[in-house]
Amino acid sequence: MDQLLDSFIAYLAVEKGLSKNTLESYGRDVGKFIAFIHEKNISSVDAIKYDDILDFLSHFKKQGFSDTTTVRTIVSIKQFFKYLQLEKIIKEDPSSQIQTPKMKKSIPGVISLEDVEKILAAPDESTPEGIRDLAMLEVLYATGIRVSELIGLKLNEVNFETGFVIVYGKGSKERIVPIGEKAQEKLKAYMENSRPALLKSKEAKELFVTRRGGGMTRQGFWKLIKTYALKSGITKD
C-alpha cells in the first residue's frame, strides 16, 4: 500500500499540480490511514470496506483532532480511493458513502450566515424543547442536510462514537455524514436531558421527538424556526 501512496502523491503532483505543502498534507493523512489499515491486518486495498474507514475516523477523532483536520483527512482519503478507482486498482470506492462536510453552512432557506449565531442562541436550554431545538439546529447547520432528512433521522442512524449520521436522501440513497464536535455535543445533551423528558415512558424510533411521543414534522420544525427568527429580530421571509 505504501507504493500506492507514492504513486498517488506523484499523480497529484504531475496531473493536479498541487503545491509541496498540499502534497505533504495528503501524504500524512493517507499515510495515517494506511498505517491504521495495516494494524487491522488488511493487506490489500480492494479488501478495505467503508466500515474500516469509519473505524479509522472514530480512532482519529478520539485523538482530539479538530473538525478542520478531520474534514481535510476525509478529503484526502476520498481522493486516494478516487485515484485507485481511476487507475482500475479497485472496482468499488468504499469511501463513496462518506460525505465531505462543508465547514460553513447557513440554515437552508431561513437565515443568512450573518444571522446564524443569533438563531442558534435563541433556544432556551433550560427546557427539554429548547435543548431539542438547539440540537436540531446545530445538526442542520453543521451538516447542510435537508430539513426532510433532519426530521427523518432515526435513533439507530446516529453513531455517537464516530460522530456520523446515516442520511437517506432522494431515491433512498444512503450516505454517511459527519456532524462535527459542536453538533455532537448538543445532540448528546438532547439524548441525555431532553429526549427522555419528552417521551417519558413512550418509545419512538425517530431521533427528534415531541411531547406527544412522535417524530417532529416539517411543519412543526418550520414553525419553530419562524418563532426563533422573530425572537432573534430576524424578519426575512
42: Cβ contacts below 8 Å, ≥ 6 apart: 48, 52
Alpha-carbon span 117 to 119, nearest angstrom: 6
By C-alpha distance, which of 71, 68, 74 is closest to 97? 74
Alpha-carbon span 169 to 148, nearest angstrom: 9
Mean pLDDT of the chain: 84
Domain covering 113-231 assigned CATH 3.60.21.10 in the classification: no
pLDDT for the residue 226: 85
- Is the C-alpha dihedral spanning 188, 78, 33, 39 positive or negative? positive
Contact present, 160 and 184 (Cβ < 8 Å): yes
pLDDT for the residue 107: 53
pLDDT for the residue 196: 93
Across the chain, which distance is largest between two alpha carbons, in Å? 61
pLDDT tens, residue by residue, 99-131: 766 544 545 554 566 677 788 888 999 999 999
pLDDT tens, residue by residue, 67-95: 677 778 888 899 999 999 998 999 889 98
Query: Is the overall model pTM greater than 0.85, yes or no?
Result: no
* Same fold yes or no, 2-86 and 113-231: no
- For the chain, the domains span 2-86, 113-231
pLDDT tens, residue by residue, 141-192: 888 888 889 999 999 888 887 788 888 777 667 788 888 788 889 999 999 9
Alpha-carbon span 21 to 220, nearest angstrom: 48
Look at the domain 2-86 and name its fold. DNA polymerase; domain 1 (1.10.150)
The owner of cell 438563531 is 119
